[in-house]
Structure 1
Amino acid sequence: MVRSLNLEKTKCLPFGLRPPDFPLTLGGHHLAFVTLYQYLGVWLDGGLTFARHVKYLWERASTCMAALKCLSSRSMGTSYRVLRTFYIHAIRSLVDYSAICLTGLAPPIISSLEVLQNDALRIMLGAPRWTRLVNLRMENGLPSLAHRIALRAATFTLQRVQHRPQLPVSLLLKQLLSRPPALLPQRNWARTMAALFTVWVPPLPSAKIQTYPVRATYFSDGSVSPDGSAGSAFVCDRYTESWRLSRGVSTFQAELVAILVALRHAYIHSHRHVVLHTDSLSSLQRLRSLSLTDNVFLITAIHHVASLLSSWGATITLHWLPGHVGIAGNELADAAARAACSLPEVTFPLRPGTSHLVRTWVNTIGRLSRDDHQLCIAEG
């Protein structure tokens, strides 16, 4: 085994310990003790602080940032899609590669990496320095680096545990991740991973939901009729508001519109505590998603109105409840949404989503293909 090692490049890096006073030899070769070492592109130090690696990321990313600025100049004429692709594959990929090592970093160090992405987002959009970060991320469809690092690390750890469950490291990970995060040391990699894998199960909604005087309680719903007409509505106490949508939109879009107009109503009336109930679990999941590929306008508009409400200290709670189980507010919103499909004019113009159009096109082509196949069989 010694013959397969390059003894000239082999170093000894003690973790959490002082270098011993006696020399360490391997195959008759004295190994030098070091405090920093780059292994597989990641700079390691004895305390596993990864401070040197963060500095290395800054140096590598700064060169790519200079190239991104040149590409974004008017003389180059590079499109936004090319700039975004360059950032993802040339700059963010540096963080993705070592994400598993960066989960335990202190928040100030993570914030220093966020500055890189924030500058890149402004360059891609041509936005001024005072643009809010939440708007930059939503316009580019990119999460913060802190969320990206957590997502990459959790995905990698889960893949290792699932693909090779009998390895000693997998058994150790299972033991660590099964513990409550509070029982693990702070700023510890295992504590961070345990917090990421903690599953929160929401309680089942009760059959009766009270409307408290200090809160504005909304029930929203969307509906699409068999002929393609769509409507959205919300109910707040005794007030009901409904909208007729453009023909051809999906039920998912109708649910998003209902949430949007309900939050807009809360913003106009300056409600301090907003509780919104919806039976569309997919809408809530998409609002929490870190990446946007479709219905960007609706989701961005919802986040914008929610940020306006939060700016003056309002609290917003989005709650899922099962549909058609006899909850009065949900039944009223559903009836109003179905009635809105029959309104004489479209009051909320909206283009169908890309995924909905593609799905409709595929289903139509598949139905026509089946009909042609059956016709060929019938004709012999």
Structure 2
Amino acid sequence: MIQSKTFDVMQTALNRFGNLIKSLGLVINESKTKFQCRALGEKHLVFNGKNIERVRIYKYLGMYVGYTADCKDAEMAHIITQCKVRLQPLRSMAYSGAGVGVPILKMMYLTTVRSVLEYASPVLSCLGEGRLEKLEKIQNAAMRIILSCPRNTMIDVMRLELNLQSVKNRIQEVSVAAAIRHMRSESGLGLRNSIKDVVNGTRTFWRQGKNGYVKELARNVLKYEVQNFCEEIPQAPRPPPWEEEEVKVNITPLQKKNECYALGVLRTHAQNQINKLYNENTAHVYCDGSVREDGRAGCGIVILDKTDSACVQSEINFRISNNVSSTQAELYAILYGLREITGGEGDVCFFVDSRGALESLKSTAPALADVVFQCRAVLHQLKQSGRFISFTWIPSHVGIPGNERAD
């Protein structure tokens, strides 16, 4: 797909694309190539000497795209047809008498029916309440099948029983998450600036118009309080495997579970670990990540002054994606802590109360590879500048000031 704001730029891009295709020895079927535009009147584009057909609706990557209401109706009809077909196996399993339980039926609904809605979320997010209500009816029918409920059962009760949110809210969440991933990349600068202008109040909309997606996306970004995640995140280049150094992780395990010790014993154990690493030229960083019962997650970082361990140099707290695991939250706290100390001087000791996160950092095959490799890339940069970074495990909630403050 090639996009442009003017016909001249589009024609130039098509000419260059055609020359590139010829140089590679490839062939493009001109009859299958289409174009869309908002402008009225006769508009023509030429590719390889042939006119390209102009269409109002075009199916691209399984979704109908276009500028008119006809396109929205076609997309809705396509999705509803796909979902209704997928409800038949769900109904057969539920009423077959084979003893299929609610968890399996719910998993089948999520993987076969709602996945269709999630895939089309960026397109569906701009639709009105009337069109989205048709999709809500599909989920309502699926919930009745899963729970074997009559038609007069309250929808909110079925959602609560199955722990499902409305289709509208799910579409909004998925579309916001996809947009944030795009805005964090280099190609997302235009969208990122548009959302920033709306959030800062320097851009307003008086109608839906051609900016309907941006308007709806900005509203959802503010709704879920994720405007801080729209900034581009610089990715440290990952070193080749033969240059990766072993992560220094100090874990002094307790002989019994934490519940078997008095609070004072655990505090003494943690303080001894901290005292072993005390040095006037070493900064102490406490990281903590947590996930609430409703799925909201966040991280806290406390950096203590090198000369006075009781003096807090800086504090950082931020939200991360909902429904992550506690280990993921801890790893993201470590990652942002490493980024925070980049550019400084001296050695740094990280104190973390998650053994799972520290085990992942030093693992050769970590389960959460993406965030772990990002941590290792930043660690490599810090070590290249002559700084020594170590990680130490301490028990949680034992009265250590830095850890309690981060928590």
Structure 1 length-normalised TM: 0.49
Structure 2 length-normalised TM: 0.46
